[in-house]
Amino acid sequence: MGLSRRAYAAHRGVSEAAVRKAIATGRITLEPDGTIDPVKADAQWDAHTDPAKQRGKHARQLGLEADAGGTAEAAEEAKPQPAMKPVPQAAIDAVNDTLRDTGEVPGDGGGGGQVSFLRARMANEILKAQTARVRLQKMKGELVDRAKATGVVKVRFVDPPKGVLPDMAARISFLRQQVSPEALSEGPTLRVPASAVVERDGAPVVLTVEGDRIREVPVKPTGRAGEEVVLEEGPKPGTQVVLAPGEGLKAGKRVRVQQEGGA
């Protein structure tokens, strides 16, 4: 049977609160009966703690053992270390952000805006794993972030327009099929999805949304372009149109827009 938390705190030379925190963070583990094996717990505590931050009787005992060794090297190591520079707040925030991204709850590591050695090492290992994953994804060509629905692409201008400079922001639309030179020479055209064009009273129309009401707009199709219909006459560009409207959807009916579409 091992020691109680209070007895182990006295053995270690730290507060009982420090022992409870060490158990909660996984720095030391309990025995099956809920007690603490002092030998095993001391080894775990030392392995999971920066030696420069050791506290209590156990830390002093390490210094005494070094002095008892009689070697100049041990005596030198047992001397008090010079005061360390405070950790920059930016570094503390970086550790907490990394742990938060993985679902960990950032802690202050003992108060005062500090970060424990164990949590800093954990954040470092997480960053290395994330970096390795990104490199692997690049090697495999998997550059799409499915969670954010974003991806990294490279584009090249066939005929670079004037005034385009590096690092400029741009909005790019990708066509589903290649556009012929003839189509490019025709200039801009008005197009709507083919499913949006329906026949009402013997004439082609598209149903548009204005406010919360449906409106029928007559159209004059001139041809098809893949899954789209090219219009000579129809709704203004940017107008919201209804895809595949049913027979029950009539002009003047009130609707609520769930997904946006454009003409």
pLDDT for 235 beyond 90? yes
Q: Which amino acid is at 224?
A: R
**Residue 102 domain-assigned (yes or no):** yes
Residue 200 lies in a domain: no
Same structural domain for residues 50 and 112? no
Q: Is residue 127 part of a domain?
A: yes
For residue 12, the enclosing domain spans 5-78
Does 43 reside within a domain?
A: yes
Domain C-terminal end among 27, 53, 78: 78
Phi/psi of residue 253, nearest 5 degrees: -75, 140
Q: Are residues 71 and 97 in the same domain?
A: no
Q: Which two tokens stand for residue 10?
A: 């006295």
171-178 LR contacts (CB < 8 Å, sep 24+):
176/226, 176/227, 177/226
For residues 24 and 72, membership in a common domain is answered with yes
**165 in a structural domain:** no
Task: Please indicate, yes or no, if residue 13 is contained in any of the structural domains.
Answer: yes
* pLDDT of res. 203: 93
Residues 32 and 93 in one domain: no
Are 66 and 9 within one domain? Answer: yes
- State the number of CA atoms in the 13 A half-sphere of 17 facing the CB: 3
Which amino acid type is present at position 129? A
**Same-domain check for residues 73 and 95:** no
Residues 170 and 161 sit within 8 Å (Cβ to Cβ): no
Domain contains 247: no
Residues 28 and 66 in one domain: yes
User: Does pLDDT of 83 surpass 80?
Assistant: no
pTM (global) more than 0.85? no
Helices (H), 25-69: 38-47, 56-68
Of 39, 59, 78, the residue that ends a domain is: 78
Q: How many domains does the chain have?
A: 2
Confidence (pLDDT) at 62: 53
Based on the domain organization, do 96 and 73 belong to the same domain? no
pLDDT digits (tens, 9 = 90+) for 172-216: 777 777 777 776 677 778 899 999 999 998 999 999 999 889 999
pLDDT above 50 for 109:
no
The Cα 118–Cα 44 span in angstroms is 12
Does 20 share its domain with 57?
Answer: yes
Instruction: Look at residue 249 and tell me if it is in a domain.
Output: no
